Chains A and B, each alone.
Chain A
Amino acid sequence: MSVEKITRRSFLKRAGAVAAAAAAPVSLVEIAWGRSDARNFTFAYISDSHLTQIKGTKFVSNFDRGLKRAIAEVNFMSPKPDFVVFGGDLAQLGKRAEIDHGLELMSALRAPVKWVVGEHDFYLDMGEYWAEKVAPLHYSFDHKGVHFVVLNSILTYEDWIRKWSTPEERMLAMARLDNPQGSPFMVGDAQIRWLRKDLAGVSSDTPVVVLSHSPLYKVFKPWNFWTDDAEKVQAELKRFRKVTVIHGHVHQVLYNQIGNISFYAMMSTAWPWPYPVSYVQVPNAVPKLTVFMNRADPHSERDGTGWGWLDLDSGRAAMHYELWENRPRTVRFDPKTGRPVDTVYQDPDKRIPPQMHY
């Protein structure tokens, strides 16, 4: 109840800016969208809730609040999204209690969910409970002329998987982002073969959207903002004219263009990760294209977190970041420059001081 109230109020606050202060729920989607092509559709994206069991039925309430708020706001979307993608890291340490808790909260969503698995959901039992209770680890589906592929991009080398004495130890090792004993993510040859087969029947004119947890390119290895065999996956996508990869894991606004592929990252509902540029001991490959999210104010629990929704008119994505303590942002594919651009901040002269990270 209180979550819904807050949500309604924040929606009204924004709606006020466009002079529509009257009835709730207010539709931001219609305002921003407005086109009437029947193939246009929107889907919402919630990611990285990291629900953390303290003990028994006690969970870290901060992270619970983040996911609950995203769910409440998605339920307010009008028109309704066709579906909701969950981008992975539902749990913190892959525990059944955490996944169950996540499923219970997510069951309040009034739209079907497409699940992507994250490393925090996976490395306790190597995805067994996820596959049994939540969703397959990789799959594909078609929706209104767009081909969607969900990949499990958080696999890693067998030697690393086998080197730990208990599943808990392995999970903890993978859960630590800055672990010098970590291991890079990968899709793996078997799944790439499956991808090739899956795409074989899809025409090059069909827009393709790939949903993964890790970025399917290389940003920063020490934090696994990285997929080791990303180039192999990119090669499979090369012949398609319109390819969009949407991923979680990095907990930040991040977008890039590599060849024919546009990449967009999702926010986390739990906490923001810093940009690798703010760790000065190791060089990074953070895309120059990205206008950073605002530096988070730690005193504001939900700052630096949020969710998003996408519209896919003309088969290219427009990513709308719903940032709870900041103005929402829209990053959309610009056909003129052939890459995603922020509709407000892309011009360096338009940027604001909190977007400077160091």
Chain B
Amino acid sequence: MRYHDTLKHFMAAGAAALALGAASAGADEFTRADLEKWRKEFMAVVQEGERLFHSGKLGGNTVSCDMCHPNASNTHPETYPKFQKQLGEVATLRQMINWCIENPLEGKPLPLDDPRMVALEAYITYERRGVKLDPGKH
């Protein structure tokens, strides 16, 4: 109750931003604990991506991504988007992931914002950490 009263007061004073900041730590202010938490969230998704990448159930024929791409090598996430002559257009990594799911894995493509797609992208990119961005490279 008191909080709302205070909020009203500040809003009336035209200092809403300041008040929100004080109530829930500003967008530009985070702690070590936050960093750790976000890292954990990220690594959990990477781990799920690693699991899917090595799973025979992502596609339809028991074949898994790692059979051609151990440690996600030879996927070159740093080069996307790039022109894929086989598709005749500039494509993203997610489109290529779906291409692999549909063809060598004989499965159904994932929606581009599917959490599994995000996890696969996270794992593939994480295994390539430290390599500089080079969009368009072949």
- Chain A interfacial positions (CB closer than 8 Å to B): 52, 54, 60, 62, 176-178, 222-223, 271-274, 276, 278-281, 295, 297-299, 301, 353, 357-358
> From DSSP, what is the main secondary structure of chain B's interface residues?
loop
Partner pick for B68 among A176, A271, A280, A299, CB 8 A cutoff: A271
A177-B66 CB under 8 A given contacts A279-B127, A281-B71: yes
Give the chain B neighbours of A299 by CB distance below 8 A: 86, 99, 103
Q: Closest chain B residue to A274 by CB distance? A: B74
Q: Interface code B51-83, partner A: CB below 8 Å = 1, 0 otherwise?
A: 000100000011100111111011010000000
B130 within 8 A of A: yes
Chain B nearest CB, measured from A347 CB (Å)? 23
Chain B nearest CB, measured from A85 CB (Å)? 23
B116 within 8 A of A: no
Q: Closest chain B residue to A304 by CB distance? A: B68
B111 within 8 A of A: no
Report whether B131 and A280 are in contact in the complex, using a CB–CB cutoff of 8 Å.
yes
Alpha-carbon distance between A276 and B71 when the two chains are bound, in angstroms: 10
Report whether A279 and B73 are in contact in the complex, using a CB–CB cutoff of 8 Å.
yes
Across the A-B interface, give the 5 residue pairs with the lowest CB-CB distance, nearest first. Answer: A178-B70, A299-B86, A274-B74, A279-B73, A278-B73
Interface residues of B in 35-60 (CB under 8 A from A): 54
Q: What are 20 A-B contacts defined by CB distance under 8 Å? A: A54-B62, A62-B104, A177-B66, A177-B67, A178-B66, A271-B67, A271-B68, A272-B68, A273-B68, A274-B68, A274-B70, A278-B73, A279-B127, A280-B130, A298-B99, A298-B104, A299-B86, A299-B103, A301-B104, A357-B74
Give the chain B neighbours of A52 by CB distance below 8 A: 61-63
Give the chain B neighbours of A177 by CB distance below 8 A: 66-67, 70
Report whether B70 and A297 are in contact in the complex, using a CB–CB cutoff of 8 Å.
no
Alpha-carbon distance between A273 and B69 when the two chains are bound, in angstroms: 7
Alpha-carbon distance between A176 and B131 when the two chains are bound, in angstroms: 25
Report whether B61 and A60 are in contact in the complex, using a CB–CB cutoff of 8 Å.
yes
Chain B nearest CB, measured from A149 CB (Å)? 29
Alpha-carbon distance between A295 and B73 when the two chains are bound, in angstroms: 12
A298-B68 CB under 8 A given contacts A274-B74, A281-B127: yes
Report whether A274 and B63 are in contact in the complex, using a CB–CB cutoff of 8 Å.
no
Give the chain A neighbours of B62 by CB distance below 8 A: 52, 54, 60
Give the chain B neighbours of A272 by CB distance below 8 A: 68
Interface residues of B in 69-109 (CB under 8 A from A): 69-71, 73-74, 76, 86, 99-100, 103-104
Chain B nearest CB, measured from A270 CB (Å)? 9
Partner pick for B63 among A60, A222, A297, CB 8 A cutoff: A60
Chain B nearest CB, measured from A292 CB (Å)? 12
Chain A nearest CB, measured from B56 CB (Å)? 9
Report whether A223 and B63 are in contact in the complex, using a CB–CB cutoff of 8 Å.
no
Give the chain A neighbours of B76 by CB distance below 8 A: 358
Chain A nearest CB, measured from B132 CB (Å)? 11
Give the chain B neighbours of A298 by CB distance below 8 A: 68, 99-100, 103-104
Report whether A274 and B73 are in contact in the complex, using a CB–CB cutoff of 8 Å.
yes
Alpha-carbon distance between A62 and B138 when the two chains are bound, in angstroms: 26
A223-B70 CB under 8 A given contacts A60-B62, A176-B54: yes
Chain A nearest CB, measured from B62 CB (Å)? 6
Give the chain B neighbours of A176 by CB distance below 8 A: 54, 66
A279-B104 CB under 8 A given contacts A60-B61, A297-B86: no
Alpha-carbon distance between A90 and B11 when the two chains are bound, in angstroms: 74
